[in-house]
Amino acid sequence: MTTRTADRPIRSEPLAVRRSWRLLWPVGLLLGALAGLQGLQENRSVLYVIGEVLVGWSLVAAALIALERRLPIRIVLVIGAIFGAWIVSSFAHSPYPSVEYVASSLQGFHDPLLGFLLLAYPTGRLGSPVARLVVGTWLVAHASMVGARFALERPLDWYGCLDCPGVIDAYIADRTLLDQLGTGYESARVVAASLVVAILLLRFGRASPPARRRMAPVVVAGVALAAGIAVIEVAFGVWGSLLQGDVGSLVASALPVLRILVAVSILVAVLRARLARASVADLAIELQRGVPIGGLRDVLARALGDPTAQILFSTGHGAYVDVDGRPATLPPATSARAATRLGSDERAPVLVHDPALSLDGGDLVAAVGSVARLALDNERLSAEVRAQLDEVRASRARILEAGDAERRRVERDLHDGAQQRLVALALRLHMARDATSSDDGGVTELLDKASAELEGALGELRELARGIHPALLTEAGLGPAVGALAERAPVPVAIHVPSGRYDRMTEATAYFVIAEALTNVARHAFATRVSVSAIRTDQELVVVVHDDGIGGANRELGTGLRGLADRVAAAGGTLGMESPTGRGTTVRACLPLG
């Protein structure tokens, strides 16, 4: 991939070069007019002459606008060559035998050259070996035919017969070879024209939307011309006897019309790149109205006519983020995408787009980039903020995860340490109690009290450990852990929690939401029953705790719920509560999965 810089458009080129281009306009238009007016000398109709002049001018305009629009130079040269071949052909019916001889021998080169242009547009390269073979064969075949004409035909005045009728054929001793060569060339022309149609349609079918828009007029006219050449050639070959006189002239006149169509289509295609700038004006208006943050990509894609366009912002050291702040990479050199840096600064945004948008020097991309500069800056700042926000979210989730891990460790330490020593002590107290006789002066009673105290301490320790992190949640998951919560709850709890495990953070967050909600029900709700449900969708786990209590709970007043809302948000979810007075309370947490 080549990263182009689009803020140095054609204005940076030497002025003298641009002026020399302009000088070609009057020259080309004059030549076109002269060649067209040649028809007047041949007593052609006014319509024919106008058509000829229009073909010439269309070709001149297409070549010079293509040059100005910085289309590949090959395209300009091929259009120029077609223009030259057309001028030569226009003298094929000259009243001067020598001129007629040279012009009619050379005529017809514009067809293989048009084939070249159609297959090479808009890149200037034929692309596939098949296309090269088709165009190459057509050109060589035509050149061979021209060579044969020069070798086998001579103008009348070369034989000193200036007053002879102007029919060259009469002076050729044997036309058999020329006729055979002509038949062979016509067959080659039909095959070549048919292949041009097939390749054009195939390429059009595979092209990206921007490339299609660019190719469309040329492809339509090109297919019509190439198909016309093939069909008319075959028609004359098969029904030659029927296509005599006016009918034959009418059919044959279709080809010049189709050539006019191709010349005009090339002009239209070249001009369309200029017309596309109208979309830049629309873009300016749209930007002035204001584009929502994150919406600039769509607006630029619309202006460029490239729905796949992407904006990447540099974050330094060759790293990029997209408009959502997600890490992104520039397309590799082998990819079918082009990237244009919208500014000379290394940190300027990069537009990744269809390479067809670069073919006329990337002016549209540059214009869009210039108009959208301010909005792009805003979007870049927004993307940076979003990237930072993503990092903050990730960091908050990591902190939560670390906190949960610490809770699990503390619970395990309590279980493995103090709890084990205390239960061993309890057993020894029982043993001491069993070993003591009944008349020991109050020792038995003392041991019983100590055992009871120890039992109480152990109970409190268990509650503490459970509150820090329930071991059942770690070992068996949300369903069993919520089941254990429900068993201890003072209000009947109906549980609908699907079996299965979730990631630790989701399980812990869901559990603590349910535990806090059940605690609040027990303390404040005066409920007779509670339902706890968890619904798993593809994207999230929705936990709902509903009671039939007095309602009227205020989330702002409960520090427990407020803390939980923070915890749920850190896990990437949302926590909501509805508590209409007299109609119970519903706590709902939506937690993202995966």
Partner 1 sequence: MSAPARPRTVLIVDDHPVYRATVRLLLESAGFEVVGEAADGRAALDLVIRVRPELVLLDVRLPDVDGIDVASRMSRGPEPPAIILISSRSASDYGERLALAPVAGFIPKARLSASAIEALLG
Residues that bind partner 1 (CB under 8 A): 415-416, 419-424, 426-428, 430-431, 434, 454-455, 458, 462, 465-466, 470-472, 475-476, 480-481, 483-484, 487-488
- Between 137 and 451, name the residue whose CB sits nearer to partner 1: 451
Q: Give yes or no for a contact between 233 and 186, defined as CB atoms under 8 angstroms apart.
A: yes
Distance CA 522, CA 28 (A): 94
DSSP three-state, residue 283: helix
- Between 324 and 453, name the residue whose CB sits nearer to partner 1: 453
Q: How far is the CB of 480 from partner 1 (least distance, A)?
A: 4
Q: How far is the CB of 497 from partner 1 (least distance, A)?
A: 11
- Between 252 and 431, name the residue whose CB sits nearer to partner 1: 431
- Between 279 and 444, name the residue whose CB sits nearer to partner 1: 444
Q: How far is the CB of 451 from partner 1 (least distance, A)?
A: 9
Q: How far is the CB of 298 from partner 1 (least distance, A)?
A: 52
The sheet with strand 540-547 has its strands ordered as: 493-496, 530-536, 540-547, 585-592, 574-578
Of 280, 142, 271, 139, the residue nearest 218 (C-alpha) = 271
Q: How far is the CB of 419 from partner 1 (least distance, A)?
A: 4
Q: How far is the CB of 570 from partner 1 (least distance, A)?
A: 27
Of 581, 494, 502, the residue nearest 542 (C-alpha) = 502
Identity at 433, one-letter amino acid code: R
Q: How far is the CB of 483 from partner 1 (least distance, A)?
A: 4
DSSP three-state, residue 500: coil
Please give, one letter per residue, the 3-state secondary structure of 367-405. Answer: HHHHHCHHHHHHHHHHHHHHHHHHHHHHHHHHHHHHHHH
Q: Give yes or no for a contact between 590 and 542, defined as CB atoms under 8 angstroms apart.
A: yes
| Tokens standing for residue 551 | 């309602």
Residues 6+ apart with CB under 8 A from 371: 280, 283, 284, 287
| Tokens standing for residue 287 | 């930007």
The sheet with strand 310-316 has its strands ordered as: 3-5, 338-341, 350-353, 310-316, 319-321, 327-328
Q: How far is the CB of 421 from partner 1 (least distance, A)?
A: 7
Q: How far is the CB of 432 from partner 1 (least distance, A)?
A: 11
CA atoms within 13 A on the CB side of 496: 12
- Between 465 and 564, name the residue whose CB sits nearer to partner 1: 465
- Between 475 and 538, name the residue whose CB sits nearer to partner 1: 475
- Between 33 and 426, name the residue whose CB sits nearer to partner 1: 426
Strand-pair category, 530-536 with 493-496: parallel
- Between 18 and 488, name the residue whose CB sits nearer to partner 1: 488
Q: How far is the CB of 311 from partner 1 (least distance, A)?
A: 53
- Between 378 and 451, name the residue whose CB sits nearer to partner 1: 451
Q: At what angle do helices 129-152 and 176-206 cross, to 10 degrees?
A: 160
DSSP three-state, residue 426: helix
Distance CA 192, CA 254 (A): 19
Could you identify the residue written with the tokens 């999230």? 540
Q: If you count DSSP H runs as helices and E runs as strands, how many of each does the chain have, helices first?
A: 20, 11
- Between 136 and 480, name the residue whose CB sits nearer to partner 1: 480
- Between 235 and 425, name the residue whose CB sits nearer to partner 1: 425
Distance CA 589, CA 569 (A): 10
| Tokens standing for residue 528 | 């007779």
Q: Give yes or no for a contact between 248 and 236, defined as CB atoms under 8 angstroms apart.
A: yes
Q: Alpha-carbon torsion 35, 82, 219, 280, what sign?
A: negative
Q: How far is the CB of 587 from partner 1 (least distance, A)?
A: 22
- Between 427 and 535, name the residue whose CB sits nearer to partner 1: 427
Q: How far is the CB of 523 from partner 1 (least distance, A)?
A: 20
Distance CA 416, CA 408 (A): 12
DSSP class of residue 418 equals I
